[in-house]
């Protein structure tokens, strides 16, 4: 028996009315809580975004509101329509014994959900900043190397008399400065706070390339062979900063799992409605008994001060918000593959 | 024609000594070569620790290599491993570390192992030449 978690009673069975922005957010949140069982969701508008989301999560979409009222299993109805008429109808027609959460009570719940979402965004940023500490070695190395070239060439130029050499070395200095500038640009784009609501069309393949460049600051890529198998047209609507963060995290983990070298494979597959990203390593693998825990907050195998234990937890959250899934296949001694599947067009809080 | 210089017989060209530069970045090897050649050293290059070990074990380098300048972060055989090999098998060859990342603990440990200098990039030409000159002094004192 797992002693770290309280033994839960039977889950509370909840029906949600309203599948707009509030209903979708509520659905996403409640779906993650094992003590709550969502038995159905209804909206007068059949094209409400939460209904498609519910189908993706295999939660029943109830076309007729009466069916929800009659459902013997319903214990609590949460009305997030904000419609006073719905509130009255609920109180008039619901079976006795069923609790109703509506009006100002459901507004409070909506505020709590929003608050939770803001906290998650904070946590994501905090974890990212904590991780940047580990970039110090890589950045110093990658800046000092071009600086050595610049210094050496400049010293030589002071004495160089051959005009051809002068021109060539001046050009090399300019290139070295550009390389150094690119490092700073990468870092600032990675460290900035992402605006969670902002979505744009993201080219997943080029995002993976960006992540690969940034991950090099965090971990040594010595003796790592990189294989890229990108599908063309791997694009989707999402938050580019958050996706970059997810990929940097997965690549860093993969390389860290291959202490004595190995092969990192980045693969994308594109279908009509979804794009998948597979990050594989040939490293130490994850023992089966830990596979359920790796996405838990504060789970880490790294020594104190080396990992926050929030990497995969945050990844799961970001992927979930994009209405995607993340799975892992791992074998001790052979390596791990993390697979993320994201819908082409996604909605988020 | 051979001449006797710095305690060694060398080829026809005047030579202050033979230096092996080990760095995975060709640019770094190039500027170090530039600086040292102007100071009269013969410069050999290796792109990682494995190549460095190959180099010293080939031909006359066994006898004629005077100094190794070595980076730390490199693929295959890294600097730490290469230095350990050199200390064990060629203890008379003085070693200089030239690294992009200052690490006090590593510097202390390497200096204890007998490394002549721990230089952090970017290092000025004068400082590099002074360090190599110091290593050459040590080389002359070491028994063959």
**Architecture label for domain A197-343:** 2-Layer Sandwich (3.30)
Among the residue ranges A198-202, A232-236, B3-7, the one predicted with the least confidence is B3-7
Q: Does B97 touch chain A (CB under 8 A)?
A: no
Cα A149 to Cα A80, A145, B73, B94, distances in angstroms: 63, 7, 17, 24
CATH value of A135-191 in 1.10.357, 2.20.25, 1.20.120, 1.10.287: 1.10.287
Asked whether the beta carbons of A8 and A34 are under 8 A apart, the reply is yes
C-alpha A216/C-alpha A143 separation (Å) is: 13
Asked if the interface predicted TM-score (ipTM) of this complex is over 0.95, the answer is: no
- The whole-number pLDDT of residue A283 equals 95
Contact call for B121 and A144, based on CB within 8 A:
yes
What does the pLDDT read at residue A255?
95
* B131: pLDDT strictly greater than 80: yes
CB A74 within 8 A of CB A39: yes
How far from the centroid of its chain's Cα atoms is residue B103's Cα? 20
Q: Are the Cβ atoms of B121 and A155 closer than 8 angstroms?
A: no
The answer as to whether B2 is a domain residue is no
CATH code assigned at B25:
3.40.50.2300
Strands (E), A285-324: none
- Cross-strand partners of B46: B22
CA distance B40 to chain A (A): 15
How confident is the model over B23-69, as pLDDT tens digits? 999 999 999 999 999 999 999 999 999 999 999 998 888 888 999 99
Q: Establish if B70 belongs to a structural domain.
A: yes
| Whether B39 contacts chain A with CB within 8 A | no
A13 and A39 Cβ atoms separated by less than 8 Å: yes
Lowest mean pLDDT among A138-142, A277-281, B27-31, B51-55: A138-142
As given in the structure block, the two tokens for residue A218 are: 């965090």
Residue B6 resides in a domain = no
Percent pLDDT > 90 in chain B is 68
B83 touching A (Cβ < 8 Å): no
DSSP codes joined into one string, A134-175: GGHHHHHHHHHHHHHHHHHHHHHHTT---HHHHHHHHHHHHH
B105 touches chain A (CB under 8 A): no
A305 pLDDT band (50/70/90 cuts)?
Answer: low
User: Are the beta carbons of B125 and A146 separated by less than 8 Å?
Assistant: no
- Is residue A31 pLDDT above 60, yes or no? yes
Residue identified by tokens 């830990």 is: A290
Q: What is the DSSP string of A73-92?
A: T--EEEE-S--HHHHHHHHH
Q: Which of A141, A142, A153 sits opposite B31 (nearest CB)?
A: A153
User: Is position B33 within any domain?
Assistant: yes
Q: Angle A136-157/A204-218 helices, nearest 10 degrees?
A: 80
Count of domains in chain B?
Answer: 1
Q: Are B23 and B71 in contact (CB under 8 A)?
A: yes
How large is the angle between the packed helices B49-56 and B79-89, nearest 10 degrees? 20
Q: Which domain holds residue B137?
A: 14-141
What digits encode the pLDDT tens for the residues A191-218? Answer: 877 666 677 889 999 999 999 999 988 8
Mean predicted lDDT score pLDDT of chain B: 87
Size of interface A-B (CB pairs under 8 A): 67
Report the residue from B75, B101, B122 with minimal CB separation from A222: B75
A→B contacts (Cβ < 8 Å), by residue, are: 137, 140-153, 155-156, 159, 172, 176, 220, 222-223
CATH: 2.40.160.10, 3.40.50.720, 3.10.450.50, 3.30.420.40. Which one for A12-101? 3.40.50.720
Q: What's the gap in Å between the CA of B81 and the closest CA on chain A?
A: 13
Contact with chain A for residue B20, Cβ under 8 A: no
**pLDDT, mean of residues A110-132:** 83
Residue B97 included in any domain: yes
The stretch A152-169 carries a mean pLDDT of 94
Task: Classify residue B5: in a domain, yes or no.
Answer: no
């Amino acid at each position: 028996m797992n002693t770290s978690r309280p033994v839960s009673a039977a889950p509370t069975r909840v029906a949600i009315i309203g599948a707009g922005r509030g209903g979708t957010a509520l659905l996403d949140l409640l779906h993650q809580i094992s003590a709550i069982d969502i038995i159905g969701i209804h909206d007068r508008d059949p094209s409400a975004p939460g209904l498609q989301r519910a189908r993706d999560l295999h939660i029943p979409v109830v076309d007729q509101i009466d069916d929800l009222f009659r459902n013997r299993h319903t214990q609590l109805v949460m009305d997030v329509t904000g419609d006073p008429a719905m509130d009255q109808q609920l109180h008039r027609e619901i079976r006795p014994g069923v609790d109703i959460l509506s009006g100002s009570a459901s507004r409070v719940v909506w505020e709590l959900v929003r608050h939770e979402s803001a906290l998650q965004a904070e946590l994501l940023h905090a974890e990212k900043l904590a991780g940047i500490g580990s970039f110090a070695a890589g950045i110093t190395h990658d800046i000092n190397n071009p600086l050595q070239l610049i210094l050496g060439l400049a010293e030589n130029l002071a004495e160089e008399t051959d005009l051809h050499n002068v021109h060539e070395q001046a050009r090399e200095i300019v290139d070295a400065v550009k390389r150094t500038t690119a490092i700073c640009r990468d870092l600032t784009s990675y460290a900035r706070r992402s605006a969670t609501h902002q979505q744009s069309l993201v080219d997943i393949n080029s995002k993976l390339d960006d992540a690969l460049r940034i991950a090099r600051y965090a971990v040594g890529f010595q003796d790592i062979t990189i294989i890229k198998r990108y599908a063309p047209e791997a694009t989707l609507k999402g938050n580019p900063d958050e996706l970059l963060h997810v990929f940097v995290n997965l690549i860093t983990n993969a390389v860290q799992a291959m202490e004595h070298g190995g092969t990192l494979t980045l693969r994308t597959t594109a279908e009509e409605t979804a794009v998948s990203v597979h990050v594989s390593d040939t490293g130490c693998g994850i023992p089966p008994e830990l596979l359920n825990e790796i996405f838990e907050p504060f789970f880490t195998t790294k020594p104190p001060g080396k990992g926050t234990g929030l990497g995969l937890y945050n990844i799961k959250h970001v992927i979930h918000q994009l209405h995607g899934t993340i799975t892992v296949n791992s074998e001790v001694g052979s390596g791990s593959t993390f697979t993320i599947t994201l819908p082409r067009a996604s909605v988020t809080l | 024609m051979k001449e006797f210089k710095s305690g060694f017989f060398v080829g026809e060209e005047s030579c202050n000594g033979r230096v092996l530069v080990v760095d995975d970045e060709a640019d770094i090897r190039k500027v170090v070569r530039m600086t040292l050649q102007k100071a009269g050293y013969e410069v050999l290059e290796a792109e990682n620790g494995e190549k460095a070990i190959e180099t010293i074990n080939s031909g006359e380098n066994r006898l004629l290599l005077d100094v190794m300048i070595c980076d730390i972060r490199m693929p295959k055989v890294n600097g730490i491993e290469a230095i350990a090999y050199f200390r064990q098998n060629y203890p008379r060859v003085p070693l200089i570390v030239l690294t992009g990342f200052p690490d006090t603990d590593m510097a202390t440990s390497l200096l204890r192992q007998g490394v002549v200098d721990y230089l952090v990039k970017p290092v000025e030409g004068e400082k590099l030449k002074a360090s190599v000159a110091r290593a050459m002094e040590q080389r002359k004192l070491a028994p063959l």
